[in-house]
Amino acid sequence: ENERSRYNQIEYDGLDSLAPNLQDTIFSPGRDQVQIFLSPGEFYSRAQINLEIGRILRILQNNGYAFAEKEEVKVTNIFSTNPNLQNKVNIELNFNTGKFSRFGKTKIILSSNKYGINQEYIRRNLNFKEGDVFDQRKLESSNSKILSNAIIESSTFNFDSTSDSENGIVDLTLHVSIRNKYELTPELLGYEIGNRFYGGLGLNFYDRFFLQGSRVF
């Protein structure tokens, strides 16, 4: 396994063109933000490097860079007679931010829609509109709102094949699957009242789209 290595210099390439406030978020995160995972002098850890890459991509994708991606990670061993540089490595993290992006059109595809649910019922749960700066958090919060409707079984956002990464337009396709509106399930009941045990059988009936809305009966 040889000797344990420590970080000497840590460089970030491909982020120089970002706005100053976004660079501050990456390199000087506030108290309520995820802190930097790499520091000079710490022991080398590929897991920590991956966490740092994920942290930066998350910030980029939450601030308009939908097509941001990591490129190669360079690890350079230092050969030196200087005892302070022995068992030290330089790390270079390379990124490609892509174009600054905005939300384009959102196409909704409903499957198993035997109850005639219209697209507007789904679209009103979206926390973004066409022309807004792309923000991955808005996709996730929209997905949570959609799934909070009992009639929805699954919901998935995908980049549409027509998305124009060169012009920074992100068209989306939203796939929504509808579950069964009705459910009838047996139940076994048991109670203890006054030191006596009572048991019984029952049936539960659910209507997940009661009165054609977001209600459960």
| DSSP codes of every residue in 55-124 | HHHHHHHTTT-TT-EEEEEEEEE---S-GGGTTEEEEEEEEE-----EEEEEEEEEES-TT---HHHHHT
Give the strand pairing for 182-193 and 6-13: unpaired
Tens-level pLDDT at each residue, the chain (217 residues)? 788 999 999 999 999 999 999 999 999 998 888 999 999 999 999 999 999 999 999 999 999 999 999 999 999 988 877 888 888 999 999 999 999 999 999 999 999 888 888 899 999 999 999 999 999 999 999 999 999 999 999 999 999 876 666 788 999 999 999 998 898 999 999 999 988 999 999 999 988 888 887 788 9
- Taking the model in full, what pTM does it have? 0.82
